[in-house]
Amino acid sequence: MSGMLAIYQKEVQTYFRSPIAYFVVAVFLLGTGYFFLYNVFMTGVGTMDETFQNMGILLLTLIPVITMRLFSGEYTGRTMELLMTLPLTARQIVLGKYLGAATILLLMTAATAINLIPLYLYGNPETKTILSGYIGFLLLGLACLAVGQLFSSLVQNQIIAALITVPVLLSFWFVGHLQSFQTDYILRGLFGYLSFAQHFGDFVRGLIRSEAVVFYLVVSAIALALNVSYLQWRR
């Protein structure tokens, strides 16, 4: 437990002592602010639905920036040798790093709450739908972080890690569109089930389905478990 905490604190410190955290949060807020203004004030509809959808895609492109350094940075900085020889288990290392990245995600998400002020001042939004949207957003983010972290552990170079993560996440997002080209019932179901976007859409509409919650948690768990096994195998 203390070992995981040590890794966690180190990760958070590292994020804030380099420009990454500030850059990611700033870009995300700028983008979200723009979408929010456009969706709410141009259409005059007082909901977050469209904004959440846009935030989802924006998140996919920013997640790799957060995760790319998690392991690749340790490889190139020659610090992996330290991590692997400290009295830490692979699980502690992986979870500590994951929670560190999740902290940045939480911060990004919390900062978007500023958009809710005008929404509540001038409109009459449904609080439950907004809450459900935020829960979905966090779950989506957690799944993407786990996938990004896994790819960061597989390659030495941070840029390559990011370049692999982006298309992988985007294909998980858009895989639902393949449904339209399938007549096979099973394939249609599979593509729909794998789609990050379709599960997210439920949350945005105010629907917290246990199937969707489990889906995101299982994706995260699989990616993290592969991450742990890879570290153990490397040794």
Partner 1 sequence: MIALESVSKRYGSKTIIHDLSFTVDKGEIVGFLGPNGAGKTTTMRMIAGYTTATSGRVTVAGFDMATQNEDAARKLGYLPEQPPLYDVLDVSAYLRFVAKAKGVPSREIPSELDRVISSCRLESVVRREIYKLSKGFRQRVGLAQALLGKPEVLLLDEPTAGLDPGQIQEAREVIRAFGENHAVLLSTHILPEVTLICRRVAIINQGRLLAIDSPSSLQKASEQANSVRLEVTAPAEPLREALLAVDGVRAAIVQSMPGSDSVQIVECQVDGQEGVEARIARAVAGRWDLHRLERQQPTLENIFLHYVGDTAQGKAA
Binding site residues, partner 1, CB under 8 A:
2-3, 5-7, 9-10, 13-14, 17-18, 77-82, 84-89, 235
> Closest separation between CB of residue 114 and partner 1, Å?
29
CA distance 109 to 36: 14
Q: Which is nearer to partner 1, 78 or 184 (CB)?
A: 78
* Assigned token pair, 74: 């340790």
**99, 8 contact by CB (below 8 A):** yes
Neighbours of 204 (CB within 10 A): 24
Q: Which is nearer to partner 1, 7 or 145 (CB)?
A: 7
> Closest separation between CB of residue 229 and partner 1, Å?
15
**80, 72 contact by CB (below 8 A):** no
CA distance 157 to 8: 22
Q: Which is nearer to partner 1, 88 or 190 (CB)?
A: 88
Provide CB contacts within 8 A for 71, sequence distance 6+. 80, 97, 149, 152, 153, 161
> Closest separation between CB of residue 78 and partner 1, Å?
5
Q: Which is nearer to partner 1, 11 or 49 (CB)?
A: 11
Q: Alpha-carbon Rg of the chain, whole angstroms?
A: 19
Token look-up 């859409």 returns: 201
Q: Which is nearer to partner 1, 3 or 125 (CB)?
A: 3
Provide CB contacts within 8 A for 210, sequence distance 6+. none
SS3 of 180-228: the string is HHCCCHHHHHHHHHHCHHHHHHHHHCCCCCHHHHHHHHHHHHHHHHHHH
> Closest separation between CB of residue 70 and partner 1, Å?
13
Supply the DSSP symbol for 38. Answer: I
> Closest separation between CB of residue 163 and partner 1, Å?
23
Q: Which is nearer to partner 1, 17 or 186 (CB)?
A: 17
> Closest separation between CB of residue 5 and partner 1, Å?
7
> Closest separation between CB of residue 175 and partner 1, Å?
37
Q: Which is nearer to partner 1, 127 or 157 (CB)?
A: 157
